[in-house]
Structure 1
Amino acid sequence: MSIRDWPVAERPRERLLGQGAASLSDGELLAIFLRTGVRGRSAVDLARHLLSRFGGLRGLLEADQPCFNKELGLGPAKYAQLQAVMEMARRHLGEHLNHSAALENPSGVRAYLKAQLRHEKHEVFGCLFLDTKHRPLAFEALFHGSIDSANVYPRQVLKRALARNAAALILCHNHPSGNPEPSQADIRLTLRLRDALEMIDVRVLDHFIIGDGEPLSMREHGCFFSDPL
């Protein structure tokens, strides 16, 4: 049965307009994005099939183009549309963060950094550069590594901090495994960067590790100012 034949109150688009997007399931939201189904499947049926194939919404959103385009109903145009939607969401988070100082909006910082790095399949190290009032100047992904490590060069971090005229910064990197617990190498790197940046009067406010769930703050975790074992 086509969605057009459903009762109006049960159609995903009408429910979204009447009750808000949060009231819809992942499948219903995806169905609105897809707009149409394929032969023998409504948009909702196709959406549920795709979520099953990709193991959920995250798997679909993070799929590369060859894997995405293998599925019936998902061509290059749909892939381009999805990437555009995701990039708009990242920029929206960035604009929201820019309206306040980073330390006044910790949830916004976490959401922004997670949007920047969680989808990465390999380890990426980045910096959120801040001005004297701790307002964001720019985010840069500085180093890309293998699936379990990234080579981070303090000299390059210092150069970028000076180029941005930053007074402070927030370090971040992702753990593709999904486990955000800091390793001893993470702690040593944080202390090394903190000490190096202090020499040019740039404060390291925190180091976030992006994994599954909420990003982990190394400052809140209690290892930010402690020497590693």
Structure 2
Amino acid sequence: MEEHSGHRQRLRESFLALGAKAMPEHQLLELLLTYAIPRRDVNPLAHRLIERYGSLAAVLKADVAELKNAGLGEYAATLIALAGAMRNISEKPRKKQRLNNPERAAEYCMQLLRPHRYEVMYLVSLDSGLKPIHEDMVSSGTIDQSTVYPRIIAECALRHAAAYAMLCHNHPSGNPAPSNEDIAMTKMIFSALSGIGIQLYDHIIVGDERAYSMARNVYIPSDINNNNQGTEDKST
């Protein structure tokens, strides 16, 4: 116990003396966790979360339910989600431009996914003018039909009163072309959202600063996509 206490004190002293930018991400997360888990060595947990999500920024974007699924208790999950929410409020928000063509949607998704080294998927809820309302991380790790739950995606879209929804996920391999699993999953989610009156606007796949629009490539049937005007997307 004394060993853990001394280590925690050193973490606090490093933060106070050097600031966050001088500390490794896992140490910053470890320091945060000490305030929710006071009597346990949280170093392995901090490493495990960074490995699971790929970066501290990605950990801070996860919601309470996702963090609890990753093994955190309610207090620790709430603290991390709160820190992430406060970070989002304090940061300059992403420009809420209309994502009314694949080029804009691709740029938006590349910016959203850039911090992630591992595969993650976001649902972006859109208003009737195709402006982003909210971003929810809905899956992480190897993404396929078994790890993406249409019910969770539908609940997120309904929670934010979305008129349209957009999926985006990354391919760490660098090739943004969709796999057969990506295509099947997109069709499954399209059907689930259609059943509650929400249009799946696009599914953008990002890899190596390139993006593939599944709507542009006719994997998502939609009059709104057919009527959009804009420059070409960064598809392969």
Q: TM-score, normalised by structure 2?
A: 0.53
5+ unaligned residues in a row in structure 2: which ranges? 1-18, 25-55, 58-86, 222-236
Is residue 169 of structure 1 aligned with residue 168 of structure 2?
no
For residue 21 of structure 2, what is the aligned residue in structure 1? 77
5+ unaligned residues in a row in structure 1: which ranges? 1-74
For residue 184 of structure 1, what is the aligned residue in structure 2? 180
Is residue 217 of structure 1 aligned with residue 205 of structure 2?
no
Higher gyration radius (CA): 1
Specify which structure has the bigger relative contact order, considering alpha-carbon pairs within 8 angstroms and separated by 6 or more residues.
Answer: 2
Let me know the Cα RMSD of the aligned residues. Answer: 3.0
Is residue 114 of structure 1 aligned with residue 130 of structure 2?
no
Q: What do the CA deviations read for 1:11-64 (whole angstroms, capped 9, x no partner)? A: xxxxxxxxxxxxxxxxxxxxxxxxxxxxxxxxxxxxxxxxxxxxxxxxxxxxxx
Is residue 145 of structure 1 aligned with residue 141 of structure 2?
yes
CA distance in 1, matches of 2:219, 2:152: 24
- Matched residue SS, 1:129: strand
CA distance in 1, matches of 2:94, 2:113: 17
- Matched residue SS, 1:169: strand
Residues 105, 204 of structure 2: 8 Å contact kept: no
Q: TM-score, normalised by structure 1?
A: 0.54
In the TM superposition, what is the alpha-carbon distance from 1:164 to its structure 2 partner? 0.6
1:136 counterpart (132, 138, 156):
132
In the TM superposition, what is the alpha-carbon distance from 1:136 to its structure 2 partner? 1.1
Residues 118, 211 of structure 1: 8 Å contact kept: no
Count of residues in correspondence between the two structures: 143
In the TM superposition, what is the alpha-carbon distance from 1:199 to its structure 2 partner? 0.9
For residue 154 of structure 2, what is the aligned residue in structure 1? 158
**Identity across the alignment (%):** 32
- Matched residue SS, 1:110: helix
What letter corresponds to residue 151 of structure 2 in structure 1? R
1:101 counterpart (98, 116, 121):
98
Q: What do the CA deviations read for 1:116-138 (whole angstroms, capped 9, x no partner)? A: 21332221011110112222101
- Matched residue SS, 2:215: helix
